[in-house]
Amino acid sequence: MPTVPFFTNLAPETAALLTQYAPADFAVTVYPASMPDSEKLPIVAAADFLILFPGYLSEPVLRAAHNVKLIQLVSVGFDRMDLKLCRELGIPVANNGGTNALDVTEHTVALILAFYRRLVEMDANVRASQWSAIDSGASTYCIEGKTVGIVGLGQIGQRVARLLGAFGARILYYDPYPPAPSIAHDLKAQRVNLEELFKQADIVTLHMPLNEGTRSLVNERLLGLMKPTALLVNTCRGPVVDEAALTAALRERRIAGAALDVLEQEPPDPANPLLQLDNVLFTPHTAGVTRDTWPRRGKFIFENLQRVWNGEAPLAAIF
């Protein structure tokens, strides 16, 4: 019977939506991610698999994972894992296989619509007995007819392209590892270089992993190429954007606004100047989390652990 500790900060009822898919012969125990390392060490030393959310373990705890056959992340992101040490120890790591792609996609579209239609302000106005459209709608917009630039045409980027294409948007994309030409063709998505995407797009939406190649990818130079009416949406990772450069562009109204689910520091310092700007819409890194996501993730995770237990290679392996 495989022993499977699950270290997480999820509420017990939420974790149960995931662990309900554990095979009957898997001994799964949920532990708080905040547990001291001294208590984690013997648990990890006896484990056959590890499930992590968030995806982080300290070096001493990782080195105790002598029998672990797979570290399974509940998230798609893996930037907090010490992959170099995992390779050294010969412990494969897998992410969630894109099982939260639907959630992030819908959140991305929701952010665009909320910004374009000024929904937060409209709600506040109605509650304050101001029953009228802001400036008769002169500063609200439709997606139809806009050019959308998608940076990263993976599972999430493809879903975003499909949904926004259905709204009547023109789709551009940049991806150094593009999908099959047939996929881009079906999405009616045109591949361009990064500079051209930022120049042409009315909406730029980011869907890429955080690594040394993407850290601060969206910098002062690229922001300077954007239209003054353009919107930047980030639902991937905060450090993909140079936050100081973005703050300056927003403050000086060189771009119209930003919709951000992620930031460089989470939660942000209350003194973060982005929080003082009225042309930014925030959510607290919740794009990928809905009630519907946990069963999808749980089903994938335990099918993946079963594969490895049966001697097969894991799916969604990072290495």
pLDDT tens sequence across 149-202: 999 999 999 999 999 999 999 999 999 999 999 999 999 999 999 999 999 999
* Fold match flag (3-99+291-309 vs 101-282): yes
Length of the chain: 319
Residue 90: its pLDDT value, please? Answer: 97
Q: Would you kindly state where each structural domain of the chain is located, as residue ranges? A: 3-99+291-309, 101-282
Query: What was the pLDDT predicted at 229?
Result: 98
Helix axes 12-19, 293-309, angle to 10 degrees: 50
Q: Is the domain 3-99+291-309 a CATH 2.60.40.3500 member?
A: no
Sequence-distant (≥ 6) Cβ neighbours of residue 186 within 8 angstroms: none
Give the whole-angstrom CA distance, residue 115 versus residue 2. Answer: 48
How does residue 22 score in pLDDT terms, banded at 50, 70 and 90?
very high
Q: What would the pLDDT profile of 216-232 be if each residue is shown by its tens digit?
A: 999 999 999 999 999 99
User: What is the model's pTM?
Assistant: 0.93
What radius of gyration, in Å, describes the C-alpha atoms of the chain?
21
As a whole number of angstroms, the distance between CA 222 and CA 214 comes to: 13
Which residues have a Cβ under 8 Å from the Cβ of 303 and sit 6 or more positions away? Answer: 21, 315
Rounded mean pLDDT of 262-266?
97
Q: Quote the pLDDT of residue 319.
A: 84
What confidence tens digit (pLDDT) does each residue in 206-218 have?
999 999 999 999 9
Report, as residue numbers or ranges, the catalytic residues.
Answer: 237, 266, 285
Average pLDDT across the chain, whole number: 97
Bridge-partner residues for 205, per DSSP?
A: 150, 233
Q: Is 76:52 a contact under the CB 8 Å cutoff?
A: no
Classified by CATH at the fold level, domain 101-282 comes out as Rossmann fold (3.40.50)
Closest among 249, 295, 302 to 14, alpha carbons compared: 295
CA–CA separation, 15 and 122 (whole Å)? 36
Instruction: Give which of 284, 267, 240, 299 is closest to 100, Cα–Cα.
Output: 299
CB atoms within 10 A of CB 145: 11
State the alpha helices, DSSP H only, in the chain. Answer: 12-19, 37-45, 59-63, 83-89, 101-117, 119-127, 155-166, 181-187, 194-200, 220-223, 243-251, 293-309
